[in-house]
Amino acid sequence: MEQTLKIIDWGPSAYTQAVDNQIDLVNAKKADPSSPDLLIFTEHSPVFTIGSRTGAESHLLWDQKTLKDKGIEVHKTNRGGDITYHGPGQLIIYPILSLHKRDLADYLRKLEIVIIRVLQSFEIDAGTREGKTGIWIEDRKICAIGVAVKSWITYHGLALNINPDLSHFQGIIPCGITDGSVTSLQNEISTLPEKKLIKERFVVEFKSVFYELCK
């Protein structure tokens, strides 16, 4: 059966509400497997999210006063991975997909391919680093990936740095990685594309990787 894809743009959203909404959508898709796959775009107010990896909490560096002064919330979450930052200037992407292959590693590889192709379309040469998650430009991380699966339906997803306040990453050891830094599209190219164009390119590459090539 050919699966359709529905694009949803939540605009700005609170992180905790976004997680609750995703779980509702996963449960609805489980109840109706013929419903479309979903690709959700959003942007969160400043928040550090702590994944399920052992020791992730120790990678939060700022104390409660500093967090309050900077207006950054902290939330534990049920995705995989370590600690990361979300905030204005990031493009957050949550795919709600049925994994027919039941292969999480394959799903993660496809997400990586999509982001690499999107960045290539804006003349950015990016790739993966052995043993590390996300998408990198040499030793600079530009996109974080952290996913979860329930009944082989995906949620959580990706955070692509377009023009966020990168100083906020100083409050954590991002993803627990000490031998790299964080970057953004704004830091890597002379002319920043409109977010609308980035979203459109992501949809094109996502459909190509997940539907045209792999089904």
d(CA 72, CA 208): 36
Mean of pLDDT values over 51-64: 87
Indicate whether 174 pLDDT > 80. Answer: no
Instruction: Give CA 209 to chain center in angstroms.
Output: 17
Q: Output the CA–CA distances (angstroms, integers) from residue 164 to 52, 76, 85, 87, 169, in the order listed.
A: 24, 21, 10, 7, 10
DSSP string, 96-151: E-B-TT--HHHHHHHHHHHHHHHHHHTT---EEETTEEEEEETTEEEEEEEEEEET
Share of the chain above pLDDT 70, in %: 96
How much is the pTM?
0.92
Sequence ranges of the domains in the chain: 5-212
Mean of pLDDT values over 56-69: 92
Mean of pLDDT values over 71-85: 89
- Phi, psi dihedral angles at 9 (to 5 degrees): -120, 110
CATH superfamily of 5-212: Bira Bifunctional Protein; Domain 2 (3.30.930.10)
User: Which candidate, 108, 93, 103, 185, places its Cα nearest to that of 142?
Assistant: 185
Indicate whether 214 pLDDT > 50. Answer: no
Q: How many CA atoms are closer than 13 Å to the CA of 91, on its beta-carbon side?
A: 27
Share of the chain above pLDDT 90, in %: 81
Under the banding of pLDDT at 50, 70 and 90, the label for residue 81 is confident
Mean pLDDT of the chain: 93
Q: Write out the catalytic residue numbers.
A: 175
Under the banding of pLDDT at 50, 70 and 90, the label for residue 57 is confident
Task: Say whether 77 sits in a helix, a strand or coil.
Answer: coil
59 is written with which tokens?
Answer: 């990678």
d(CA 119, CA 83): 24
For residues 81 and 6, which has the higher predicted lDDT (pLDDT)? 6
